[in-house]
Chains A and B, each alone.
Chain A
Amino acid sequence: MLIRFELNKKQTELEVAASETLLDALRKAGFWSVKHGCETGECGACSVLMDGKLIPTCIMLAAQADGHEILTTEGLAEGQDIHPIQKAFIESGAIQCGYCTPAMILATKALLDKEKYPSLEQAREALGPTLCRCTGYVRPLEGVLRAAAYLRGEEVPPLNVKPIPVEAVFGPISPASGPTEESGFEPSGGVATTTRITTAPTLTAQDTTVVVGAPETKVDAVKLAKGRAAFTDDMTRPGMLYAAMLTSPYAHARIRNIDTSKARALPGVRAVLTYKDVPRVIYASGGQSYPNPKPWDQVSLDNKVRFVGDRVAVVAADTLEIAKEALKLIEVDYEVLPAVFDPEESIKDGAPVIHDEPDAVGIYDAQHNISATILAQTGDVDKALAEAEIRFERTYRTQQVQQSSIEPHICITYWDEDDRLVIRTSTQVPYHVRRMIAPLIGLPVSRIRVVKPRIGGGFGGKQEMLIEDLAAHLTIATGRPVRLEYTREQEFTSARSRHPFKITFRAGLTKDGKLQALEMVAIEDTGAYGVHGVTVCSVAGLRGLSTYKCENVRFDAKIVYTNKPVPGAFRGYGGPQALFALESFMDEIAHELKMDPIEFRMNNVVRLGDSIPIATALGEGGPVPQVIRSWGLAECIERAGNAINWERVKDPQWRFDPERPNIRRGLGMAVLMHGTAIPGLDMGSAVIKMNDDGSFNLLVGATDIGTGSDTILGQIAAETLGVPLSKVIVYSSDTDVTPFDVGAYASSTTFISGGAVKKCAEDVRNQIFERAALMLGTTTEGMILRNERVTTPDGRSVTLEEIAHHSLHTKDQQQIMATASHMSLQAPPPFGAQFAEIEVDIETGQVTVKKLTIAVDCGTPINPLTAVGQLEGAVAQALGYAVSEEMAYDQSGSIQTRRFGDYHIFSADEMPEIQAFLVPTYEPSGPYGAKAVGEIGIDGVAPAVANAVYHATGIRLRDIPILPEKVWRALHQSR
């Protein structure tokens, strides 16, 4: 039927089908800014304005738009123009992956059209419907208020940040005395959630950097704010087919037979693939370095299913509707097998054997469903425990949670003109995908090109070769482009998640509270496949046993199969599990010993110059000894502690509210320590070439998943090359064009890829100096490259443009360019402190987190704006982990939380106040003194909240999430 409506201020006629949603109709018409993340009305990504009101297009019929006025982000500003709201969002750092951005911008418009002076509360309410998994909403709220100021016609000051003192481009580093002044980075806009930077007194430098340390706006922000076609799904190809996946309804079953004849006979169906159609090649789907850690216990399509949601068959058809229809026609004859869901049951004699296939490689004890084990120790733990004056033992449990990037997994595969297979995919690991997929689809690596466009969030969920093989099999079978996307429901049933752990800590201490021995015994539930199981577990061991100084430590872990959807990589990678246990445990010990919990921790914590004993016995890529060479923990505790007003912990009266007798207040904290990259394993590389106008192309394999890595890598190059960021054109993650990088994981990009970029830029700088020397008839001695100009000590200079012209066109012609790679044996830990203020309703058990403060020492923040964004976003995810998120199952192992309505990720209107602080130190092994910031923010909220609940009520919760009913039960039992 034909509908007539005003679309982006133009009268428009659109032919739509009766059953078409407005979402489908708009995207089909090329309005790619309208995204989708759930199609149940719950994520808000598909929102547009209808008659000025925000509405969800995924749950509205296209025909119902007839006669209305519709505005999409495309309609806000034409061509290269930029709307004040878009500008405000870009400037305030509100855009990370950008997938939720067009909807947020429209939500902002709806608010500002009727409210010139919005309050923070109104801004929260306005952004409430648009879920964002990246930002924690702090910067977007800032963006709303900044936009309001723009629209009122006010002068809005630029984000103000004084340069952070770091290593001079050429200057040496000198140790400093006392604390340096606060450098006062305070985004304007008047949001209560401000961000400040202070400098820890470890090291300062003599000179300042220009581009490094500046809150540069992200290099991809404009296209994202404008909602341009930047994501995997924002295109079609001629003849493209739509794929859909049939998944198992049973937790454990053998497939006796599959009859696909009816499905194949359905008009429009082009291919139906089952285990009968694709070669059986054993692999592990985790996006990790060669050779992938064992066990290898997966095949593309198997004749056995091991969890509800496991792959059974895949269909390609002319439309998605036909593909889905075809799924219903596939007849599967299942022999249902007994299933097991609890790891402690799973390892018992007689439990159902999940991996009985003979061709799996490297399973530790398949008969007992033990995927792998880890035993690592230093010193003599048994002796130290036996001799300790005081001993403690506690057990903690953590739940399974889902990454929930708003953009689901999606890829499009096709043959290019040269019969090479192109895989356009939303991945964190393009290079690993290329290598790992090759044997599965029987093509050499040389015939595969993997391209990662913008991706709508990853958080580890896309550190995986999750669906690319299925799409590729279909393209090979049909010769046609194939698009395969997970539904939101499949994100829960068939994607990856965080490993649940049971962790028992044993500690031996002296009477005055000095740690003598620490043992961590863990059972990790790796679900139906072993992918990431052993590496996540080793990181859990590292994280659990690194923070506190102790010679006698032991990690003893089992990684166990169950018939559950498969956990994988999720930001923190074992860290949040370990730190919930460790930081709860430390709190418990401190209280038992009647010591101040911070003092107790500081008596035992590792410090500058200390080595980390467990690192000599345990490591994700094998043990590599580590020494701490930058440490800002004390400053972090002070900063974040002051911000939450920690002093109140000493006032017993404060816990009570005379106005509300059912409320108890509490404060809690946790010490954070994470890793930076996998030492001796992770590698990144870069290519830089110089252009005619003195600009540079920077090509990196590093994968920007919304974190801003393209931007900070550009900043490192720009700083080294003496140009503004605008003169560096960053292109990343295309296996045909950019050099190798392991990808976006393990908090490695700034440190490892950034190291490569710096080396590469230094090489280019040297070539520039040589060219300048040639031009000026001098030597390179003492030359300086600043402000796009090389200056000699005697004051003569040439511009980069002149140098480029000379080298490309004039004499001894040469392309100034370089390549470099970087790996590191150091994995310098960032440190931090997390504080939480909470309220408990003792009648309902409801825990309301009022405020979270975090301070992190990440070395030099290359870009303070993206760095605090990482912290705020991680804290928001960590809050969900602490109090609301949990993948829940029924008796048959079928997941119950299949929608955002049931799986609770936080929205803007329910967020507590977050304050994030950067405490820069100087890390000698990092580029410009940087270490990691991407993951550490997710480690501490759960223990801080649990510790605060204890402070408020005296109730100790040793399993998360801290749901109202759990608290209520615990309170009830204690009475």
Chain B
Amino acid sequence: MLPEFDLVMPRSLNEALQVLAAGSPEVLPIAGGTNLTVDMRSGRYEPKVVVDIEKLPELKGIRRENGQICVGGGVTIAELLKDGLVAETAPVLKSACALFANPLIRNRATVGGNLVDGSPAADTAPSLLALDAEIELTSQDGKRRLPLDEFFIHVRKTARQPNELVTALRWALPKPGTGSAFYKLGLRKADAISVVSVAVVLEAEKGVCRKARIALGSVAPRPVRAKNAEEFLTGKLLKKEVFEEAAALTAQAVSPISDVRASAEYRRRMSAVLTRRMLEQAAEQTGWKE
């Protein structure tokens, strides 16, 4: 048994938003519950009311929509992992999902819950940041869309208001000449919170970088982009020395902490190593050979 709370099981998004409308931090939605139940048991969160949004049809589905891919906030990691549209338009997200916990957790964990939890180690975050994804937040007052980069604020702090639900994520279809890569360095295989994770998306034309996105997890109070390195890469020929330089810039952009898993120094160094490797892999996928 968990500490006591009232459970509301709305049948539609509107009903759910009504319950949340008061904007009380003591009313929390639950999706897969893989974070929330653990947090309630440990006493980190003590909601008075829990709203089950897991079965809401409005939060489900992965579809093409006005030249974008739209993923419902309640889509599970397992669904993302086996979806053809995701594989085709966002292989970097698929890679992240493949390294996300294990099949058991993936069957329950949702992408909305992953992002709202606000963990710097959230595994879908670097890939979605690298995809320039937009997050859709819905309340009774209406919908708003934010670049995901503006959504994350600090550890367990996001731009979500207590009356809002994450209803969707969107990203653009990839341009020709796009390459991407994701890697998570854990102490073990997938089923471990990462020490460092890196997602890279590159757009290139004849080997010249048109746009670069580098995003990292577990190395700052929130999932972060290495904007200095992204800027540096733009317009450069994709080659080894450039990657080295971009990797070094990435290491400057992160502000890791030391904890049981690894020291700050190690995380910083690994940010560079992984970034370089991911850049190499992504560059190869753009179809350009040095």
Residues on A lying within 8 angstroms of B by beta carbon are 1, 17-21, 24, 39-41, 44, 47, 50, 53-56, 58-61, 63-64, 66-67, 107, 125-126, 128-130, 319-321, 843-844, 846, 884, 888, 896-897, 901-902, 904, 906-907, 909-910, 963-965, 968-969
Nearest CB on B from A762, distance (A): 50
What is the total number of residues of chain B having a CB less than 8 Å from a CB of chain A? Answer: 45
Q: Which residues of B contact A63 (CB under 8 A)?
A: 7, 9, 52
Can you list 20 pairs linking A and B with CB atoms under 8 Å apart?
Answer: A41-B34, A41-B104, A41-B105, A53-B78, A53-B107, A55-B108, A56-B104, A60-B33, A107-B104, A125-B103, A128-B102, A129-B102, A129-B105, A901-B192, A904-B188, A909-B189, A910-B188, A963-B187, A965-B262, A968-B269
* Residues B260 and A888 in contact, CB atoms below 8 Å apart: yes
Q: How far is the CA of A21 from the CA of B270 in the complex (A)?
A: 39
Question: Known pairs A321-B3, A909-B189. 12 more at Cβ < 8 A?
Answer: A20-B1, A41-B34, A47-B104, A54-B107, A56-B108, A59-B108, A61-B7, A129-B102, A846-B185, A902-B261, A907-B188, A963-B187
CA distance in complex: A125, B104 (Å): 10
Across the interface, A59 reaches (CB within 8 A) one of B4, B37, B50, B273, namely B37
Measured between alpha carbons, how far is A1 from B9 in the docked complex, in Å? 11
With A54-B104, A59-B37, A59-B38: A19-B2 Cβ-Cβ less than 8 Å? yes
What is the predominant secondary structure among interface residues of chain A facing chain B? Answer: loop
**Contact, CB under 8 Å: B103 / A129:** yes
Q: Does more than half of chain B's interface fall in helix, strand or loop, or is it mixed? A: loop
Q: Does B85 contact A (CB under 8 A)?
A: no
Q: Are B188 and A19 in contact (CB under 8 A)?
A: no
Question: Do B2 and A41 have beta carbons less than 8 Å apart?
Answer: no
Tell me which of A67, A884, A964 has the highest count of chain B C-beta atoms within 10 A of its own C-beta.
Answer: A964
Q: Does B63 contact A (CB under 8 A)?
A: no
A-B contact count (CB 8 A): 132
C-alpha gap A126/B107 in the complex (Å): 12
Task: Find out whether the CB atom of A906 lies under 8 angstroms from the CB atom of B188.
Answer: yes
Residue of B1, B189, B260, B263 near A24 (CB, 8 A) is B1
A18 pairs with B4, CB closer than 8 A: yes
Contact across chains for B1 and A21 when beta carbons are under 8 A apart: yes
Query: Is B30 close to A, CB under 8 A?
Result: yes
Q: Which residues of A contact B260 (CB under 8 A)?
A: 888, 896-897, 902
CB of B150 within 8 A of chain A?
no
Pairwise interchain contact B34-A59, C-beta atoms closer than 8 A: yes
Point out the residues of chain B lying under 8 angstroms from A965, CB to CB: 262-263, 266
- Chain B stretch 98-123: residues in CB contact (< 8 A) with chain A: 102-105, 107-108
Contact call B273/A844, Cβ cutoff below 8 A: yes
* A63 nearest in chain B by CB position: B7
Please judge, given known A-B contacts A54-B103, A63-B7, A129-B104, whether A964 and B187 are in contact too, CB under 8 Å: yes
B52 and A61 within 8 A (CB): yes
* Residue of A with least CB distance to B3: A19
In the complex, whether B154 has a CB less than 8 A from a CB of chain A is no
Q: Which of B104, B185, B261 counts the most chain A CB atoms within 10 A?
A: B104
**B6 lies within 8 A of chain A by Cβ:** yes
Contact with A along B176-217 (1 / 0, CB 8 A): 000000000101111111010000000000000000000000
Contact between B187 and A884, CB atoms less than 8 A apart: yes
B41 close to A (CB within 8 Å): yes
Q: Within the assembled complex, what's the spacing in Å between the Cα atoms of A18 and B269?
A: 47
CA distance A631 to B264 in the complex (A): 50
Determine if A319 and B108 form an interchain contact, defined as CB atoms under 8 angstroms apart: no
Q: Is the CB of B191 within 8 A of A129?
A: yes
| Chain B residues within 8 Å of A964, by CB | 185, 187, 195, 262, 266
Looking at the complex, which one of A21, A907, A963 makes contact with B2 (CB distance below 8 Å)?
Answer: A21
Which A-B residue pairs are the 8 nearest by beta carbons?
Answer: A129-B104, A18-B7, A910-B189, A129-B102, A59-B37, A19-B2, A896-B260, A965-B266
The reply to whether the CB of B54 lies closer than 8 angstroms to some CB of chain A is: yes
Q: Is the CB of B30 within 8 A of A19?
A: no
Name the distance in Å between A38's Cβ and chain B's nearest Cβ: 10
Given A18-B5, A19-B1; A884-B105 close (CB under 8 Å)? no
> B34 contacts which chain A residues (CB < 8 A)?
41, 56, 59
Q: How far is the CA of A965 from the CA of B191 in the complex (A)?
A: 19
CB of B121, distance to nearest CB on chain A (Å): 11
Find chain A residues with CB under 8 A from B2 CB: 19-21
Instruction: Please indicate the chain B residues that have their CB under 8 angstroms from the CB of A901 in the complex.
Output: 192-193
Residues in A whose Cβ lies below 8 Å from that of B3: 19, 321
- Which residues of A are found within 8 Å of B269, using beta-carbon distances? 968
- Closest Cβ of chain B to A2, distance in Å, is 12
CB distance from B281 to the nearest CB of A (A): 13
Q: Which of A58, A67, A906, A910 has the most CB of B within 10 A?
A: A910
Closest to A965 in B: B266
Q: Considering only CB atoms, which chain A residue lies closest to B78 in the complex?
A: A53
CA distance A773 to B52 in the complex (A): 77
B90 to A: closest C-beta gap in Å = 22
Contact B1 A884 (CB under 8 A): no
Chain B, residues 72-107, CB within 8 Å of chain A (1/0): the string is: 000000100000000000000000000000111101
- A contact residues around B5 at 8 Å (CB): 18-19
In Å, the complex CA distance between A47 and B106 comes to 13
Complex Cα distance A50/B78, Å?
14
Residues in B neighbouring A20, C-beta threshold 8 A: 1-2
Per-position binary interface string of chain B over residues 16-30, scored 1 when its CB falls under 8 Å from any chain A CB and 0 otherwise: 000000000000001
CB B88 to nearest CB in A, in angstroms, measures 22
A18 touching B6 by the CB < 8 A rule? yes
* CA A45 to CA B242, docked complex, whole Å: 48
